[in-house]
Amino acid sequence: MKREIATAVAASLALLLLLNISPPPPQNTAPPAPPQNATSAPQSPALPVVKLSELERLSPTYLYSVPAVLATTTAAVPLSAPAGTARAAAAANLQVAGVDEEDYVKFDGENLYVAAAGWVYVVGPDLAVKASGSCPAYDCVVFVWGGRLLTYGMEKFGFVKAYLYRLPDMAKVAEFNFSGVPIAARMAGGYVYIVAAATPPDVVINGARVDEAPLLSLDSPPAVLIVAAVDMERGRLNASAFVSGHAFRIYLKDGRLYIAAAQGIPQLLYKAAVKAWDRLPPDAKAKLNLTNPLTLYKSLQDLLRLRGYADDVIEALNSAKVTTATGIYIFDLDGLNIRLKAAAEVPGRLLDQFAIEELDGHLIVATTAAPVKFQTTRYVIQPLPRGEAVVISQDGQPVTTIRPPPPPPPPPAIYATEGEPSNSVYVLTPDGRIAGALEGLAPGERIYAARLIEKTLYLVTFRQIDPLFAIDLTNPAAPKVHGHLKTPGFSEYLHPVGQGKLLGVGAYERGLKIALFDVSNPTQPREVSNITATGLHSPVFYDHHAFAYSPELRLAMVPAASWYGAGYVLAVEVRDKLALRAVVNATADRAFFGQDAIYLVGRFGPASDVEIWKYTTDLRQAAAARLS
């Protein structure tokens, strides 16, 4: 196995807001400089490197600052034949044109590539299996490009294995593995970028143990972020590890990969301690170590074990008035090379991947933020019996009784509660600085759907009624509300369906609602048509790949299921009004439009078996097949 250094973090790391570690302050002196505002110049700190064995115990030992150059592991596997034509298959309903996303089924206009029950199948237009090969898990995803097929899944919990096949004969040409639970993946230009979260300290990449990693942010329990790149043509892997909060959204466009990770309690405590340093009791400050979030979290735990500190310290931390927040890590991609360019922070959390988009080089982020209040647990320990009392007697007369003491109370634990939410839109520069913001949207509500169309961002928030906001992003420094609409129900997913039209899929009175909005005048959006179905819900609520739309047929395919498990697909014609074309009796969660056919695909059962239906474009069933 060849080891090489293929990734380097730029000297111009921007807005590492919470890692002010160069130089580290003495334990009892003033805190690091507060986070930068939107107009200050980006810093260039070195990332601290954490030994993963110590991270498991959240110990401040073995933390040191070095230039952040990342050692990575690369596997090179000779291919038995050159790659074929650069034909690619894609998932249903992609966010960014030309950027494929992880899914269990792909379609190239002719063939379906399906992962089912521990196997990968190539299925032809007649639904006959043309080739097959094993995949490393019952629940796998597939990528196809240039005569190559990549499939991966968790061989066992917390361990990812990937197989690379040559098409059309499905000959295996490479295998890769690394620790973690897959979060998401993207493919562009024949390179697949996989993001996973591993649990320290046992982290491996292609059999090589990772003993230490640069620290981006800290969570409890801690997580290690794995960013892996696979070259589909040459069969090579390059992967890097970072200590980070738990990542949950990624976005890729034009060679830039964005990874969003919600900040955990240790990171929020660090931010609060920096802001409230002057309000902390002097004797408490003498015991706190603000070198970085890791040392602060450990020293704060030790401090709270001492009597008389908890109330004053928690009161001071809460005076900082911190909110929930998300770290966004920006990587420049060049094939297998992954370079961390900047790390930014925005208040609040992202709903889904459509809450992060790129527009004219700026990053658009929609978040729901809530104020955070720290508290400590208060335990009342009652004496617990530990068996019968010990009675010692002399000449038949009791002389002493020994009773087991009650267990000692556990140390106070810090937790956080969240207050009333509000929503915001932030515009970030390429180096991670906040260039513009629109804050305080729909107080008390949360974002349920987001979609960027040209230079207008559409947001749906919800508490009791569904407000649809149109946000004007023409001026990145000053985003503003164009207009808004309130309508019953709420949309979980938004999709453009032609010039000036937007389709929403969401919930309505314990059922399903499909709504057509006229947004040709963003200052006055209006709902012009809808279809509702009682007793149904849809996987589109949480999985955008379940939705499919054909502009040529002007047909939307919306899968739905009853609360008792029966499955359907609603075929909805989209013109000036909505019209229900058909209700297909199929438990499908994917739809693909071929040249003269519509394919429905659905998984079912504990073994992830797959069923495929083929329909003509006028919705007459032509064939069906089951993969198991």
pLDDT in tens, 145-168: 999 999 999 999 999 999 999 999
Calculate what percentage of the chain has a pLDDT beyond 70: 84
pLDDT (average), residues 609-617 = 96
Q: Is the predicted pLDDT of residue 567 greater than 60, yes or no?
A: yes
Domain ranges of the chain: 452-593
Residues 6 or more apart from 512 whose CB is under 8 A from it? 505, 506, 532, 533, 536, 537, 538, 558, 560, 570
DSSP H helical ranges for 183-255: none
Distance CA 610, CA 604 (A): 6
Q: Quick one: pLDDT at residue 35? A: 38
Q: Quick one: pLDDT at residue 465? A: 61
Q: Looking only at Cα atoms, what is the longest distance across the chain?
A: 102
pLDDT (average), residues 597-602 = 98
Q: Quick one: pLDDT at residue 295? A: 86
Q: Which of 31-35, 53-57, 390-394, 593-597 has the highest mean pLDDT?
A: 593-597
Residues 6 or more apart from 130 whose CB is under 8 A from it? 111, 122, 123, 124, 168
Residues 6 or more apart from 624 whose CB is under 8 A from it? 127, 611, 612, 613, 614
Q: Is the predicted pLDDT of residue 176 greater than 80, yes or no?
A: yes
Closest CA to 231 of 140, 148, 316, 128: 148
Q: Quick one: pLDDT at residue 537? A: 94
Distance CA 126, CA 275 (A): 65
Question: Is the separation of the CB atoms in 210 and 241 below 8 Å?
Answer: yes
pLDDT digits (tens, 9 = 90+) for 91-119: 999 999 999 999 999 999 999 999 999 99
pLDDT digits (tens, 9 = 90+) for 450-503: 999 999 999 998 865 668 999 999 999 999 999 989 887 778 999 999 999 999
* CATH H-level, domain 452-593: superfamily: YVTN repeat-like/Quinoprotein amine dehydrogenase (2.130.10.10)
Closest CA to 290 of 278, 244, 57: 278
b (16+ CB within 10 A) / e for 413-433? ebebeeeebbbbbbbbbbbbb
**Residue, of 61 and 302, whose pLDDT is higher:** 302
Question: Is the separation of the CB atoms in 541 and 534 below 8 Å?
Answer: no
Question: How many other C-beta atoms are found inside a 10 Å radius of the C-beta of residue 390?
Answer: 10
- The whole model's pTM is what? 0.85
**Residue, of 332 and 401, whose pLDDT is higher:** 332
Closest CA to 44 of 16, 23, 69, 65: 16
Distance CA 538, CA 511 (A): 9
Closest CA to 161 of 206, 114, 192, 131: 206
pLDDT (average), residues 554-575 = 94
pLDDT (average), residues 423-440 = 96
Distance CA 216, CA 341 (A): 12
Distance CA 323, CA 275 (A): 13
Phi-psi region of 531 (alpha: psi -120 to 50; beta: other; left: phi over 0): beta
Q: Is the predicted pLDDT of residue 65 greater than 60, yes or no?
A: no
**Residue, of 391 and 15, whose pLDDT is higher:** 391
Calculate what percentage of the chain has a pLDDT beyond 90: 67
| Rg from Cα positions in the chain | 27
